[in-house]
Every structure is written in structure tokens, then in C-alpha cells.
Amino acid sequence: MVERKLTDAQRTLIIPKIRALGYSFREIGKMYNVSDATIYYCIYPEKRRASMNLYSGRKMIQTVINGKITIIRGLDKRPRPELCELCSRKPTKAYHHWDDDDPSIGLWLCYRCHITVEVMDDFPDIDLHSFYLDLKEKAATEVVTERKRFNDEIEVKRARWLKSRTMT
């Protein structure tokens, strides 16, 4: 449960009285360390309900089209499941679509899966999974050979040092 910054008494009694004294929403917000919108909705609670009803019924997505962030409204998206449709482990956060002509076709994904499929969509000609596994194997062999070379150098230096100690 989210902890409220303002008590019910502050919301209903104190803040309207301070507002009646001539303080602005911003000044009252600074007094209580909350936003001016919070103070506004304390004084006009019916407007918050109207505002929430206005935006809750809209079906929309935020996407990038031609390099600009665009909000597309009035979509008929698929119902939102509780868990990611790809990994089935995390709660859904984003709606991923791949066709700019029909953005209503898409998947509900968690943040990690959404980033992954965005990259896969950006590079469709590369099999990213096998490419990644090949890179992992290459990096591991490079590290192993570098360690072996370093250990061999250390062993040669140690042998020289021991030889020089025994000669004297």
C-alpha cells in the first residue's frame, strides 16, 4: 500500500483554509512537500475523479515514429495479461507493436523482454541468440588463453628468479 504524504484532516480541513488565506497551490505544495496538482485535487476532489475517468477509458500507446515520440489513441489492443507473454515471470509493463500501419497488433511484455524484442526488430537479419552465444564463447576462450599466457610469463620469471638465487 502506498503511504500518503497528507493526512485526511490536512486534505479536507487545513489545506482549504490555507488556500482561503491567499496562498497559491505551489506555495502550499512546498509547505507539505507535495506537488501543486496534489493540492489542487485536495481542494477540488470531484475534478480528480472526472480527470481519472477521462483518461482511464482511453486505449493508447506511446511509440517512436520517424524519430519522434508519438502517442496513438483509440487503439483496440489485446487484453492485458498479468504476466509477460514472452517470459511469463514478470508483470507486464509495455505494449510492443511492430507494424506502424496497425499498432493495435502487439504483445504485452515486461521491460526486459520489451528491450530485447526491440533490438531483435531493429536487426532482423541477424540471429542474435546464436551471435551472442558465439561472442560469449569467443570472449571466454580469449580470457582463458590470456590467463594461460600471463601464467606462463610469471612461471618463466619465477624460474629465472629461482635460478638467479641458487647461483649466488
pLDDT in single tens digits along all 168 residues of the chain: 445 677 777 878 888 888 888 888 888 888 888 888 888 888 887 776 665 544 444 566 666 677 777 776 666 777 778 888 888 888 877 888 887 777 778 888 888 988 888 888 888 888 878 888 888 899 999 999 999 999 999 999 999 998 888 876
What is the rounded CA–CA span in Å between residue 129 and residue 134?
Answer: 9
What is the rounded CA–CA span in Å between residue 10 and residue 7?
Answer: 5
- Do 34 and 5 form a contact (C-beta atoms < 8 A)? yes
- Do 97 and 106 form a contact (C-beta atoms < 8 A)? yes
Q: Which amino acid is at 92?
A: T
pTM, two decimal places: 0.44
